[in-house]
Structure 1
Amino acid sequence: MRLSMSRSLRVVALCLGSLACAGSAFADPPKPPTPVAVAPKQIILISFDAAREISQWERSRALAKRTGAHFTYFLSCVFLLSPETRLQYAGPGKAAGKSNVGFAASRQEVADRLEEIRLAAAEGHDIGSHACGHFDGKDWSKADWLAEFGSVRRVLENAYAINGISPEPADWRDFARHAVVGFRAPYLSANKALYEALPEAGFQYDASGVSKGPELPPIKSGLTHFALPLIPEGPNAKPVIAMDYNLYVRHSGGFEKPAMAGEFADHAYQAFRAAFDAQYNGKRIPLELGFHFTQMNDGAYWDALERFADEVCVKADVECISFRDYVERQRAGERQAAVGG
């Protein structure tokens, strides 16, 4: 009887064990870990207006090579005309050969600048338009803007021939007709007529805006609109347009103070870095910074730019790209969304 009882208990135990095993077999599988959202790369858009001095072309291209950056150069086309050929340009309502920023110093300087443009384009940089004579177009009509754009295209396309520079590269005219897709107005002075003229002239983006802070560039009427943001600067974090000229006016009233160049460079760097950190540690909205080739306050703002770019453009989760690069990605994303891919 005791043997029978022992066997019964063993059977019951085995059955209970089997049920436990069966129960574990049908239990819910462990939930996979919640995926962690990957932050987008921080985009920085660095541009240069006028694009005149040859040494600054070389310096900016060297900066790009060591950091992997791509820049946008907004070219004033009067710098492709020498004193002998300046009459080839007449701005809206202006006499021929007049410009607010002068012209190239010589035919050789034009040749050197054309070579810099070709090298920059071959290295992946964006060549944009800064109009021609750097006139304030706030009162221009649509026809005036279209005339200015026509002058830009004609001077750029025929720059070698106009100045008697040879040989002209075989691909130059094709480049001149198709490569320039962006615009920034001199003095950032835009009006309604400009935005009517830009799409008609074949432009894909405009970078003449100013915004309260970094913002995602919208597409309106076929144009991507970029804006230089206001960024905090100085001990009181007072907002200033993120451009070297505006810092120059803030720091020294627009007059040279070379003895304070180091201090100004540090203030500018701190402003750039703080604006970057706010986005990098936040929503990662693209940050736009604007410069000129002019060495204001003994080059303080270029020194700040190089220090900044050397630190941040090399980060794995940062991209310093051109406006054209951004627009191409933006439009590729729209096309992909439209087909449901």
Structure 2
Amino acid sequence: MPRLFPVVASCVASLALAGPALADPPAPPQSAKSKQIVIISFDSAREISQWQRSRALAQRTGAHFTYFVSCVFLLSPETRNDYAGPGKSAGKSNIGFAASKQEVADRLEQIGLAASEGHDIGSHGCGHFDGKGWSKADWLAEFRAFDHILENAYSINGIVPEPVGWRDFARHAVTGFRAPYLSANKALYEALPEAGFQFDASGVSPGPAVPPEKGGTMRFSLPQIPEGPKARSVIAMDYNLYVRHSGGFERPSMAAEFTERTYRAFRAAFDKQYQGKRIPLELGFHFTQMNGGAYWDALERFAGEVCVMRQVECISFRNYVTRRRAGERQAIVGG
């Protein structure tokens, strides 16, 4: 009997919800500050084992994540020609496609499970192309390709049975986007509201920043945070740390050192906000295991410490947008 896929309304509703020397810093009186928000996200979301690992982390800590899915991983080698990126021939992608029909089925199951557990499913486009030179029409074409492939993934790949409610979920659940390579342009921000996106997470900021809302789209930015012995700034994303630490080449023998450096950078950035203005802290990851898994090991240690704190909430982008807009409406109604 096919598993019933939760309708998007229930998914949205469900969203409402180590180093001893660096453990819980003293918090100010609860009435003085709002809770510290931490937003953790994953790009491309390919490896099944990493879906499982991240969901297990969430279950241990009470966190909710945003998964920015690349739609080429919902196409098998046999169905890859169902996608053609702007200016590209059919069946082309910078990151490949799913390895098999079974892998697509397994990934679709993980997407469904994550959504049912209250996580946010976002769009990372399809072919992971650099869109800095794209027009508004190009971006809209990429968004349409993503929507079509997500909604029809079961039928395109001949996977049966299709869960009840899948198409309704696919039409309504995805409200956020992150551009591959964080490569945004003016045309992207013109296309996002027309495509119905409520938020974009493609920006980079000097430090944690409250996301502004422009043209109906809330714009989030990954912060630059101090890291390493010289406290040089680096974008708070695993790939950028990988390039910083090893020049983009694998150095698994140094995994322990890179894990410790990453953890300390995350924790210091968190502590500064927790003890200060409580600006949301965003951290970005991929499912790829870089430098022997150093960045995921640091993430698990960090989330295991902070997401369980009473004055902290680790929530998704969509959850943050929903809460803030609800708060703004209440403020208007309340005068």
TM-score (norm 2): 0.91
1:178 aligns with 2:164: no
The one-letter amino acid of 2:255's match is A
Q: Find the residue that maps to 1:45 and give its secondary structure.
A: strand
Indicate the residue corresponding to 1:144 in structure 2.
138
Cα distance between partner residues in 2 of 1:279 and 1:109: 40
1:112 paired with 2:113, answer no
Q: Distance in 1 between matches of 2:219 and 2:182?
A: 13
Could you tell me how far 1:340 is from its partner in structure 2?
1.9
Matched, 1:267 2:273: no
For residue 297 of structure 1, report the CA deviation from its aligned partner.
0.4
Between the aligned partners of 1:264 and 1:198, the Cα distance in structure 2 is 36
Deviations 1:246-282 (A, max 9, x none): 0000000000000000100000000000000000010
1:214 corresponds to which residue?
208
Whole-Å Cα distance in 2 between the matches of residues 75 and 226 of structure 1? Answer: 17
What amino acid sits opposite 1:193 in the alignment?
Answer: A
1:38 CA displacement = 2.4
- Cα distance in 1, alignment partners of residues 224 and 30 from structure 2: 32
Q: CA deviation at 1:170?
A: 1.2
Q: Which amino acid aligns with 1:206?
A: D
The equivalent residue for 1:229 is: 223
| 1:114-169 alpha-carbon deviations (Å, 9 max, x no partner) | 00000000000000000000000000000000000000000000000000000001
The answer on 1:336 being equivalent to 2:330 is yes
- 2:92 aligned with 1:85, yes or no? no
- Relative distance call for 1:282 and 1:331 in structure 2 (3 A) is same
- How has the CA–CA distance of structure 1 residues 55 and 227 changed in structure 2, closer, same or farther, with 3 Å as cutoff? same
The offset of 1:37, in angstroms, is: 4.1
- Cα distance in 2 between the residues matched to 1:166 and 1:207: 34
Aligned AA for 1:61?
R
Q: Map of 1:243-254 to 2, 5 A cutoff?
A: 243-254=237-248
The 5 Å alignment of 1:309-328 reads 309-328=303-322
Q: Could you report, residue by residue, the CA deviation over 1:178-221 in whole angstroms, capped at 9, with x for unpaired residues?
A: 00000000000000000000000000000000000001111111
2:300 matched residue in structure 1: 306
What is the one-letter code of the residue matched to 1:185? A
Residue pairs, 1:24-35, within 5 angstroms: none
Query: Aligned pairs, how many?
Result: 307
1:44, distance to aligned residue in structure 2 (A): 0.1
Identity of aligned residues (%): 79
Match for 2:281 among 287, 291, 300? 287
Corresponding letter in the other structure for 1:260: M
Supply the distance in 1 between the matched residues of 2:146 and 2:217 (Cα, whole angstroms): 19
CA shift, 1:36, in A, is 8.1
CA distance in 1, matches of 2:109, 2:78: 20
In the alignment, the residues of structure 2 paired with residue 279 and residue 257 of structure 1 have an alpha-carbon distance, to the nearest angstrom, of 32
Report the Cα distance in structure 2 between the residues aligned to 1:310 and 1:37, rounded to whole angstroms: 25
Query: What residue is the counterpart of 2:249 in the other structure?
Result: 255
Residue 202 (structure 1) aligned with residue 204 (structure 2)? no
| 1:71-110 residue CA offsets vs partner (Å, 9 max, x unmatched) | 0000000000000000000000000000000000000000
- Rounded to whole Å, the distance in 2 between the matches of 1:58 and 1:199 is 32
**1:210 counterpart letter in structure 2:** V
Per-residue Cα deviation, 1:292-317 (whole angstroms, up to 9, x for no partner): 00000010000000000000000011
What amino acid is the match of 2:311?
A: D
The counterpart of 2:60, out of the listed 50, 66, 72, is 66
Runs (4+) off by over 6 Å: none
Once residues 325 and 80 of structure 2 are traced to their aligned partners in structure 1, the CA distance between those partners, rounded to angstroms, is 38
Larger Rg: 1
Q: CA deviation at 1:46?
A: 0.1
Opposite residue 286 of structure 1, the aligned amino acid is: P
Measured after TM superposition, the shift of residue 39 of structure 1 is: 1.3
Question: 2:92, 2:230 → 1: CA distance?
Answer: 42
Query: Does 1:51 find its partner at 2:55?
Result: no
Q: Which runs of 5+ in 2 are unaligned?
A: 1-28
CA distance in 2, matches of 1:240, 1:146: 31
Higher relative CO (Cα under 8 Å, sequence separation at least 6) belongs to: 2
Aligned residue for 1:209, secondary structure, equals: strand
1:162 aligns with 2:156: yes
Aligned-partner residue type, residue 90 of structure 2 = A
In structure 2, the partner of 1:192 is: 186
